[in-house]
Amino acid sequence: MRNSCKSRFFRDDYLSVTMVAAVRLSGPMAAMSFVGAMNQERFEAWLAECLVPRLQEGDVVILDGSSCHKSAKDREILGSIVIRF
């Protein structure tokens, strides 16, 4: 059974907002949000425009198994600053 709030203010149609960010011991960094779901194009934009410019020497990048993390373009973007995969 689906949990939902039924009232005149809430309807079943909604906008999905996705937020992606990196985490350091000092807190979150490279945050980006957009309307809609994550896809390859958006992930590549986040890597190139938000994450890579903020990485510092010694940082470790860990990606989960999502299909949008597995493109040759991702490796190219990260390969410009990361020595090992």
Per-residue pLDDT tens digits for 63-75: 888 888 788 888 8
Residue 10 one-letter amino acid: F
pLDDT of the residue at 22: 93
> Which residues of the chain are under the pLDDT cut of 70?
1-13, 82-85
Instruction: With H, G, I as helix, E, B as strand and everything else as coil, classify residue 18.
Output: strand
Whole-number Å distance between alpha carbons of 28 and 12: 32
- The reported pTM is 0.72
Where would I find the beta strands (DSSP E) of the chain? 17-24, 27-35
Which residues 6+ apart lie within 8 Å of 25 measured at CB? Answer: none
DSSP code of residue 49: I
